[in-house]
Structure 1
Amino acid sequence: MMKGGRKNLKKRAVESSEDRLSIQDGQSVMQVVSLRGSNLIEVMDAQGEKSLALFPAKFQKSMWIKRGSFVVVDISGKEKALESGSKVACIVSQVLFYEQVRSLQKSPECYKVAKERGRAYFLNQANI
């Protein structure tokens, strides 16, 4: 059972992003592959490329993720971070809930990825 604070947080997050769930330039939807400890997670993009992402402290006690979850990641500084020798390439900017993932799967952008990788691949990766 969820406590009041977490329930209201999830409700606000879903309601506020249902209408305006769009991915800006420099952002990408990625799937969580593994949790590395503290605030590091390993994510995989649509092409199957894995990288480390930073899970900001502002999410840690309010949003929980597990393996297979989907997150919106800021990848604008990925190339620069990798060139400088940093292993952390991106930062999580939003955690996607079940309803948001379903709406993204129905969007036209998702169909482009599904055609490239095969629709069954994306739906199997979603674990939904």
Structure 2
Amino acid sequence: MSRRQKSARQLLYNTPYPTPEEKIARVLGGRGKHLYEIQLIDGTSTLATLPPRFRNVVWVKRGGYVIVLPVEGENKIGAEIVHVLLNEHIKQLRAESIWPKEFDSSQEATKEEPRISEGADEEDDIFINDNRVTVEESSPEEDEDEDD
């Protein structure tokens, strides 16, 4: 079995539990060269690297969660990603009360209530794509007025 297959099976079939030195973090965005900006539970942000065994096996999305191992030193990189958490893993960690409360409250704050328009035209709710040229259609009555 190749290294890629072992990493994929480990990711999909094993529920990861953070050890005392590991921490759960939220991914704020990718910075290139397998570096990701992460936010720790205490609110600090740092760079984390994705080890070669996970590259081309799993993709880390912005807003996703990872388990990281903090790295000591004066580098810009403050942690190494040990495991990428999928939705099934997060549900399991919440069920076992391992999931940090800080990430639950911030996730609820970002959810928006669906917008209900009362008495407004449906045309107001239609998305307007600014990347396309808009063409105004004219009615046949306006065309006759222009000819006169």
Give the match's secondary structure for 2:98: helix
Distance (whole Å) between structure 1 residues aligned to residue 59 and residue 103 of structure 2? 29
Structure 2 counterpart of 1:104: 93
Matched, 1:38 2:36: no
Indicate how the Cα distance of structure 1 residues 118 and 7 shifts in structure 2: closer, same or farther if over 3 A, else same.
closer
Higher-RCO chain (CA-CA 8 Å, sequence separation at least 6): 1
Per the TM alignment, residue 107 of structure 1 is displaced from its structure 2 partner at its CA by 2.6
Give the match's secondary structure for 2:106: helix
Structure 2 counterpart of 1:121: 106
Percent identity between matched residues is 21
Matched, 1:26 2:24: no
Equivalenced residue count is 108
TM-score, normalised with respect to structure 1: 0.70
Structure 2: which 5+ runs fail to align?
111-148
Distance (whole Å) between structure 1 residues aligned to residue 63 and residue 104 of structure 2? 17
Distance (whole Å) between structure 2 residues aligned to residue 69 and residue 7 of structure 1? 22
Rg comparison, structure with higher value: 2
Per the TM alignment, residue 109 of structure 1 is displaced from its structure 2 partner at its CA by 3.0
Indicate how the Cα distance of structure 1 residues 123 and 104 shifts in structure 2: closer, same or farther if over 3 A, else same.
farther
Partners of 2:11 and 2:84 within 8 A in 1: no
Structure 2 counterpart of 1:68: 63
TM-score, normalised with respect to structure 2: 0.61
Give the letter aligned to residue 27 of structure 2. Answer: V
Structure 1: which 5+ runs fail to align?
1-5
Structure 2 counterpart of 1:49: 44
